[in-house]
Amino acid sequence: GAGVSQSPRYKVAKRGQDVALRCDPISGHVSLFWYQQALGQGPEFLTYFQNEAQLDKSGLPSDRFFAERPEGSVSTLKIQRTQQEDSAVYLCASSLAWGQGALENTIYFGEGSWLTVV
Amino acid sequence: QKEVEQNSGPLSVPEGAIASLNCTYSDRGSQSFFWYRQYSGKSPELIMSIYSNGDKEDGRFTAQLNKASQYVSLLIRDSQPSDSATYLCAVITGSGTYKYIFGTGTRLKVLA
């Protein structure tokens, strides 16, 4: 597709339920990022993939959060035993690669997955 | 101290005026700076990137970078009601890293 695609767009989960959020990056983009955005805040970094390798997961808030990108394209962010504080928009972004050039560095966001935990 | 700081606003300007949005950052080694616009309920979209000290113009938008003072700003000339949104400043801290650090955003209201 032309842009970053995320699904589901909206998810209501009961506390304790597991959820899986999917991201389909722009075709050919090597780098993939997950961000979490709470209401009224800027996006907060969660994790970064270069192809299938997860190079940085320092932003994942707890071991209930897990991300994968097994074939270097589609990525899934999984949240186990959801809690109310997990309610946020989860943004996926991708970039062509990662280098010194403006083109490679520019990240493009998907529309986000809005998670509400009740 | 937050790594990237912005005034949350709202910043209200009349239609046709210049809107000035500011951002400061703490990592002196930061190399890459970005402004994103985010409409309510939508994802951030890139407006401009800037890497060198000085001004960079693109249409009605001008980004200004001053590394010595560690600030980056965005000017919007001839502001339109459609410019009403939250403007996010993002910084890639250090060299050779990939992590965009975002500010909390400044909400801009352009009054018709």
Choose the mutation target among B6, B98, B99 for the interface with A, i.e. most A CBs under 10 Å. Answer: B98
Picking from A34, A61, A48, A56, the residue whose alpha carbon sits closest to that of residue A97 is: A48
Chain A residues with CB-CB distance to B51 below 8 A: 102
Which tens digits make up the pLDDT trace of B41-100? 899 999 999 989 999 999 999 999 999 999 999 999 999 999 999 999 999 876 556 788
User: How far lies B75's CA from each of A76, B37, B52, B91, in Å?
Assistant: 37, 13, 17, 17
* pLDDT, tens digit only, all 118 positions of chain A: 579 999 999 999 999 999 999 999 999 999 999 999 999 899 999 999 999 999 999 999 999 999 999 999 999 999 999 999 999 999 999 998 776 566 667 889 999 999 999 9
Say yes or no for a CB contact (<8 Å) between A111 and B105.
no
- Backbone φ and ψ for B11, nearest 5 degrees, come out as -100, 120
Say yes or no for a CB contact (<8 Å) between B51 and A102.
yes
